[in-house]
Amino acid sequence: MPALSFLDAACNFPRATLDDLLGEGGAVVVAPHPDDESLGCGALIAAARARERPVKVVVLSDGTGSHPGSIKYPREQLRQLREREVRKAVSVLGVRAADLNCLNLPDRHLPRSGIEAESAAGAIAEQLRKAEAHALFATWRHDPHTDHQAAYDIARKAADLVRGVRLFEYVIWGRDLSPETMVAEVPRGWRFDGSSLVARKQAAIACHRSQVTNLIDDDPEGSCLSPAMLARFAGKEEIFFEIDR
């Protein structure tokens, strides 16, 4: 079916409570870049932490691909900036500093297979065990960004390493797919009500200043989230596809 029809169908998914998604355990959220965790799962993370559920956030890339031509923020300074931003963001959502794991793989070049991918999957599996989590969240396999596709592949490998893990996908760039893009699977998933946590989620997103403001203004090729893009994540619901495994 067309990818955009697939995404439209998600509006009719059944509603799920936190317990429906996480069971009695915690959660691990895999973000290909610093900010994806807040955009795609901010309300879920905040809700879980409000219930004192363990939440581990694993950020795969170093985030330095957003402004590769900046003079003010050369690569290492940009890496440090983006790590500070994500640390502040997850803190707003209630995640402890020790529960954020930044793997610092190269932005725009996340591996989909091989030793580095296996190592990243092992790191995620370790966090699943530590959190006693049976719910793993990663970006949608069809997101039109190679790092997001790689994040799904890595997360799937991790889920295979830990018994009883449910794998969920969240969409970031899916609405930017061409109308002609086809996906084979039939959509199955859930709508999570985050209406009481909209302000908390928006506060976390705002922590990623390099991505939502003109903080870095000296790279004409740099990427920044547009108001229209940010509006996609200002609603009361978060949608998660569940993977049949």
DSSP per-residue letters across 86-100: HHHHHHHTT--GGGE
Q: Rounded to two decimals, what is the model's pTM?
A: 0.98
Give pLDDT, residue 186.
Answer: 76
CATH code of the domain covering residue 234: 3.40.50.10320
In this structure, are residues 148 and 182 in contact, taking their beta carbons and an 8 Å threshold? no
In single-letter form, the type of residue at position 123 comes to A
SS3 content of the chain, % helix, strand, coil (to 5): 45, 20, 40
Q: Residue 124 CB: number of other CB atoms within 10 A?
A: 28
Per-residue tokens: 90: 């997850």
What is the distance, to the nearest Å, from the Cα of residue 245 to the centroid of all Cα atoms in its chain?
20
Q: What residues does 102 pair with on adjacent strands? A: 59
pLDDT at 234: 98
Determine the pLDDT at residue 184. 74
Q: Which residues of the chain have pLDDT under 70?
A: none
Residues 116-133: tens digit of each pLDDT: 999 999 999 999 999 999
Pair type for strands 166-170 and 237-242: antiparallel
**pLDDT digits 0-9 by tens, 65-79:** 999 999 999 999 999
DSSP states of 118-160 as a string?
HHHHHHHHHHHHHTTEEEEEEE-TT-SSHHHHHHHHHHHHHHH
Q: Please give the pLDDT value at position 187.
A: 83
Q: What is the pLDDT of residue 225?
A: 98
Looking at the 3D structure of the chain, how many domains does it have? 1
Residue numbers of the domain that contains 106: 3-242
Say what the pLDDT of residue 177 is: 94
The pLDDT of residue 179 is: 86
